[in-house]
Structure 1
């Protein structure tokens, strides 16, 4: 990319006037020079600092990926050591520790060397990309364990809390999630699992077909189709099949196509609230005057919020009462 063109594009980016395509180009260019020290010396020091702060999340993700590889080599002889990710804000803090960070209920699948442990300590839903192309959307205060690379015959994941899975199709390798005493098997579909300690475990299907059964009962298998649920009642040790309620929060995971042509965020919020049946508000009045130009094709609400975070630096917090948008000016 020519420096004169690049300088103008960076200035446009820092003013918040880039399209989503231009933002993606800036991110790709920045990441391609992560090992060079002077690749931004053609812009002012103030612009360099602001650019680096804006792209901090991308830099941290690159660093995290490399640290995993190096630590895995260093600890190859010590099987008791595990890699733990603690997600805080937009960055991932890597901790090397002895033993297992959180206690999973007994299951036939134990964490092995090279497993990735993710604990979402933020107030927003975190997007995780697995090695097979599957996506996990991890809710706040939730935990997941998955291998850096799945085996050739099986894809195993462990979780506690709440997560939405978008599983890449692979007929040769079933995708299996262990959540307490509940085992969920899929080959390619999208669904949500809620597996908190003190409430019944619930599996809700959005697309495709899902098999749910108890680890302790081989004859307990239920087959779920879209809009169907399976609930595990620990007191009776039974799985119960049901229909997704109309008031369910699964509506945020439905994929929609929305277009905004230089529309203020106040109007964007109204559209998102109506489309996804949620309550989005803002803690920052100035944010309401932000202008958005974007085409969201076949996207869920968490995916749209993730794009707003990356393109407009608009953060979000999930609560029982809805979603709060705010700007992070730090």
Structure 2
């Protein structure tokens, strides 16, 4: 019955006997075939179908026209049943998610407020990608480097961070995520609860003053002083059993100065501690006083650390 009704409508349109409302319904349906989104192959098919309909609609009573009628009758009848052209003309266009990307240079930090009012502080030499407006299902972002998060609590919309080997999921809390190349990935919780999963579906829930690290593809959990581990938020430099190579990377990231290690004189021991200093020279002075690590300025952007025998 629906197919016959639509065929009759097309016949009236073809003969020029359709009312303005009926004519508009047919034209809007034909237009919708081209405007409706889809894959390239679908859009090409729709374009060809529209062309064939418009071409054949001028030829009265041909067999080809009847075949086209049959091909589109069911879909068109459904559209007519749901409101004819008023429905067709109001097809919602697919919403494309817009993303923001924030990058920090070495020696730089940035504070970001997300669309849900959550706060992010992006540490030096890091990158974060997030939707300008979160979806209704979740708040998903991607992180490379290190960042602090203070997440607005939403019971039914989790906050999900993808960062290299880890996926961190929360409802509302304060924590940091660290994911620098060639360094151990870790998550530290300052308040609330956080669920951390890795690529092989190991999962762990951690709370305040707990830290998860990924070492040799295994999740390790330990207790930490979260305020000390996240002291970079106060512009401090934190070392924790740091090797000479790690020491050089940390100083380079914080102060944007290349650090070379001369171990030909004596090996540098692993270092631990928090050091304040707006200038790298303040930190180097402390390292020399506490650990006997001396330094030499090679040029404007490069220094060398060593320890005499």
Q: TM-score under structure 2 normalisation?
A: 0.44
Higher radius of gyration, 1 or 2: 2
Q: TM-score scaled to structure 1, two decimals?
A: 0.41
Which of the pair is proportionally richer in strand? 1
